[in-house]
């Protein structure tokens, strides 16, 4: 398939619909000791024996810190409308209260280059790389970190203002709270049920505190927050309660306080032993109006109750999975969009801010035939089209990821990119999925230009 096929009557063909690619700072930048940057929790975590596969780290990653200009040229060549990136907090505030002009200048040149090439810029303020000096004071277990986040948001948005088209406060608070502070699989590697839920509340409080700051400093930009969501499905009719709880803890715990001003009762009841102290006024802060929400979708949660009554995920026999064992289930994207539309009366426009698949991608004769990923994107774009036709407002779609990169605790063994990276030479090679994406977008642009 040399391009993705969009239905003739699809809103995905509209020039107003935003197509983009996405990355994050620690996953691609490298240059961890350059430009005035100080360590993040990921620099520290990567040094722990056994924490990351192969002992990998983001020290060099894709060397985007030095290769940013050619990377943006490559992005423009894909024909996308927008680039979603994240800013490294420790590049901007290397020490508590100290602003680093060199860090701001690094991102300013990227933003300016994107705009010069006709690309919209979506900036995420927090994609998990908390400054280590804040972790030393308790990190997201310390309520003060929420206020420090608002200060950081103020520094960034005062500097860039409306130059950033779309601001995102947090990327996937579920992951930073639960994988980082509940299960210990991500930085900072803390394990504890109470800790995970406490971190989640402080993250959401940080989001809420930052929203009015962002609006004041960048009144013409859009402002919102990004959640990962895997819709729950019952293995048998008797397991519907498991599916309902999976949804409640997986994403409603994070979205409900923003859009409903409350935490889901299912979780409050089931996990009363670990629910954090929620101070009066906290939910009013967290539920500040947002212009959009981003949804990162990869797969579904097919679940059942085990013998202890706990919710367990299963992969159905015979299901097609990606290289890392995630079930490919495009219908879940359509179902998720419809469920969100039904649950929230005030649902703002949605961007699909991440969607993609990991492969065991190899170069053969200067080509990467990632046939499974090509089918993955095609089927998920079709599912997105179905959601649009069902009446859900979705304003954009971002492929994850622009290029292979540091995949957190899995190091470099997982390749999510539509562009292959040779980590020895930093050579970038467009995979078949990138070529199909580019060809689709070129065709869409030609349709629009031809009237």
What count of Cα atoms within 13 Å lies in the side-chain half-sphere of residue 88? 35
**320 occurs within a structural domain:** yes
Q: Which residue positions form the known binding site?
A: 27, 127, 171, 298, 400, 407-408
Beta bridge partners, 313, equal 303
The pLDDT value given to residue 1:
82
- List the CATH number of the domain containing 266: 3.20.20.80
Distances (CA, A) of 268 to 173, 262, 265, 275, 429: 18, 10, 5, 7, 48
Structural domain for 59, as ranges: 11-449
Residues 6 or more apart whose CB falls under 8 angstroms from that of 414 comprise: 323, 324, 358, 407
The pLDDT value given to residue 48:
97
| Bond before 188 cis per omega within 30 degrees | yes
User: ∠ CA(99), CA(103), CA(104), 5° rounding?
Assistant: 80
The pLDDT value given to residue 448:
86
Catalytic residue numbers read 172, 354
Number of domains making up the chain: 1
**6 occurs within a structural domain:** no
Contact of 118 with 124, CB cutoff 8 Å: no
* Sign, CA torsion 252/258/261/263: positive
pTM (predicted TM-score): 0.98
Residues 6 or more apart whose CB falls under 8 angstroms from that of 60 comprise: 30, 423
Closest-CA residue to 203 (of 221, 232, 179)? 179
**26 occurs within a structural domain:** yes
Burial call 72-96: b when 16+ CB within 10 Å, e when fewer = bebbbebbbbbbbbbbbbbbbbbee
- Mean pLDDT in each 10-residue stretch from start to end of the chain (451 residues)? 90 96 98 98 98 97 98 98 98 97 98 98 98 98 98 98 98 98 98 98 98 98 98 97 97 98 97 95 98 98 93 96 97 98 97 97 94 98 98 98 98 97 98 98 91 67
**441 occurs within a structural domain:** yes
Distance between CA 24 and CA 86 in Å, rounded?
5
**5 occurs within a structural domain:** no
Contact of 126 with 170, CB cutoff 8 Å: yes
Q: Which residue positions form the known binding site for substrate?
A: 27, 127, 171, 298, 400, 407-408
**4 occurs within a structural domain:** no
**87 occurs within a structural domain:** yes
Distance between CA 266 and CA 246 in Å, rounded?
10
Report helix, strand or coil for 19.
strand
Beta bridge partners, 350, equal 293, 394
**215 occurs within a structural domain:** yes
Residues 6 or more apart whose CB falls under 8 angstroms from that of 312 comprise: 242, 303, 304, 305, 306
């Amino acid at each position: 398939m040399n391009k993705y096929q969009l239905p003739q009557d699809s809103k995905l063909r509209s020039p107003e619909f935003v197509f983009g690619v996405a990355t994050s700072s620690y996953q691609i930048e490298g240059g961890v000791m350059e430009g005035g940057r100080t360590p993040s929790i990921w620099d520290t975590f990567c040094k722990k024996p056994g924490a990351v596969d192969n002992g990998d780290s983001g020290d060099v990653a894709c060397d985007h810190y030095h290769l940013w200009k050619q990377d943006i040229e490559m992005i423009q060549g894909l024909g996308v409308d927008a680039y979603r990136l994240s800013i490294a907090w420790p590049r901007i505030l290397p020490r508590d209260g100290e602003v680093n002009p060199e860090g701001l200048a690094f991102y300013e040149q990227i933003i300016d280059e994107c705009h010069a090439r006709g690309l919209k810029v979506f900036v995420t303020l927090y994609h998990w790389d908390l400054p280590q000096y804040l972790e030393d004071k308790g990190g997201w277990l310390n309520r003060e970190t929420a206020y420090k986040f608002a200060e950081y948001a103020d520094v960034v948005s005062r500097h860039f203002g409306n130059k950033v088209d779309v601001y995102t406060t947090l990327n996937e608070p579920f992951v930073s709270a639960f994988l980082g502070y509940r299960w210990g699989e991500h930085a900072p590697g803390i394990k504890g049920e109470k800790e995970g839920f406490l971190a989640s509340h402080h993250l959401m409080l940080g989001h809420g505190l930052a929203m009015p700051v962002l609006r004041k400093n960048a009144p013409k930009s859009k402002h919102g927050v990004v959640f990962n969501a895997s819709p729950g499905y019952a293995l048998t009719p008797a397991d519907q309660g498991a599916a309902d709880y999976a949804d409640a803890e997986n994403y409603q715990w994070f979205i409900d306080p923003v859009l409903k001003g409350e935490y889901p009762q299912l979780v409050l009841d089931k996990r009363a032993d670990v629910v954090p102290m929620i101070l009066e006024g906290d939910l009013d802060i967290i539920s500040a109006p947002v212009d959009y929400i981003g949804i990162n979708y990869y797969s579904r949660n097919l679940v059942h109750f085990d013998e202890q009554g706990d919710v367990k995920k299963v992969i159905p026999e015979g299901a097609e999975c990606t290289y890392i064992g995630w079930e490919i289930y495009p219908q879940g994207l359509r179902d998720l969009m419809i469920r969100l539309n039904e649950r929230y009366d005030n649902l703002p426009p949605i961007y699909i801010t991440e969607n993609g698949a990991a492969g065991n991608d190899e170069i053969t004769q200067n080509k990467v035939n990632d046939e499974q990923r090509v089918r993955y994107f095609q089927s998920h774009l079709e599912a997105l089209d179905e959601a649009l036709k069902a009446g859900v407002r979705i304003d954009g779609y971002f492929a994850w990821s622009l290029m292979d990169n540091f995949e957190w605790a899995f190091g470099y063994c997982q390749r999510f990119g539509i562009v292959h990276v040779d980590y020895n030479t930093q050579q970038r090679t467009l995979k078949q999925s990138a070529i199909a994406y580019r060809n689709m977008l070129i065709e869409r642009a030609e349709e629009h230009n031809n009237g």
